[in-house]
Amino acid sequence: MSETRVPDNRQDVIHDIGYRHYEGPRLGIGYATRSLYTSSLRGAFGLGRSGKSKILPMAMAVIMAVPALIIVAVSIYVKMGKLPVDYPQYLTNLQFVTAVFTAAQAPVLLSRDLRFMTVPLYFSRPLRSSDYVRAKYAAMVSAVFILTLMPMLIMWIGSMLGSMDFGYNTQHFAYGVVAAAFYSLVYAGLGLLIASLTPRRGFGVAAIIALFMVSAGVSGALRGVMHVTGHQAASFWVAMLNPGFLIDSTVSWMFNLPLRGNVAEMPTTIGGIAFLVEIAVLAAGTFFLLVRRYRKI
């Protein structure tokens, strides 16, 4: 058998540079999704980013927490029997802060990936588009929930330090947790859906703020008109146009709490059920539309 000769002027050379095959465990899609969720949640508060990225989310967290600290301090100092502001009402009064946080941070989670074309890099791995959306959606919902839960937790701890009624405060704190969950699902879903439509963070922020401001203005004007024209009994239906007032009305109906404002009306049983259905549709619908959006990328 003749030996094959290799020409001296060959151009192909194999170099051994010391790389070895990976022999460890394959962590899979679940681990990748959890890692993306953790990274996105940290990013929503500016953690792991530059100092400039931390300013706005941390400022919103401080604005949410400081009034709660003041309420607790004053209540304990004057030895009040209970807190002057109920837990769900506190979130209603500061819903604009929640809207600003959502508008500022939802584009951080999505618009940057679109702008810098990093989404195809995610999908080149075992991560699917639905996994990407699930991680980002869960991260934004968690971020808004942390933002809204924090001041109520401060109020609850303060009520315990002030020797206020444990049963009452725990029960109403639970009402507040339900309200925080509703704010998280609705605000995060709407914010992410809008942010997914543009790679420009500034456009996303402006569009989300416009959604919350316009809906609040339109619903407020319509409620005023309905009261002037003698349709007070049906004015609660206008809450369906404003995410914040929708959540406030739903929680008040569920737990028989007073509504804020002089022109607000308590929803009927049919109205309350309709509001619950709308919240569920907004939460599930925005997630479904996000999945459809990223299947096309």
Contact 248, 175 (CB under 8 A): no
Task: Give mean pLDDT, residues 11-37.
Answer: 75
Task: State mean pLDDT over 52-62.
Answer: 93
Q: pLDDT higher for 19 or 216?
A: 216
* CB contact burial 122-159 (16+ within 10 A = b; e otherwise): beeeebbbebbbbbbbbbbbbbbbbbbbebbbbbbebb
How does pLDDT run across 73-102, given as a tens digit for each residue?
999 999 888 899 999 999 999 999 999 999
For residues 237 and 146, which has the higher predicted lDDT (pLDDT)?
Answer: 146
Higher pLDDT, 64 or 119: 64
Average pLDDT rounded to a whole number, residues 280-289: 96
Q: What is the mean pLDDT of residues 249-275?
A: 82
pTM (predicted TM-score):
0.87
For 3, 4, 70, 242, 280, the CA distances from 12, given in Å and listed in that order, are 20, 16, 74, 68, 62
Would you say residue 292 has pLDDT above 90? yes
Confidence tier at 15 by pLDDT (50, 70, 90): low
pLDDT tens digits for 155-204? 999 999 998 999 999 999 999 999 999 999 999 999 999 999 988 888 99
**Percent of the chain beyond pLDDT 70?**
91
pLDDT band for 41, please (50, 70, 90 cuts).
Answer: very high
Which of 37-41, 52-56, 74-78, 257-261 has the lowest average pLDDT?
A: 257-261
Q: Residue 5's pLDDT band (boundaries 50, 70, 90)?
A: low
**Residue 18 clears pLDDT 80, i.e. is over it:** no
pLDDT for the residue 1: 47
pLDDT band, residue 62 (cuts 50/70/90) = very high
Q: How confident is the model at residue 262 (pLDDT cuts 50, 70, 90)?
A: very low
Q: What is the mean pLDDT of residues 119-126?
A: 72
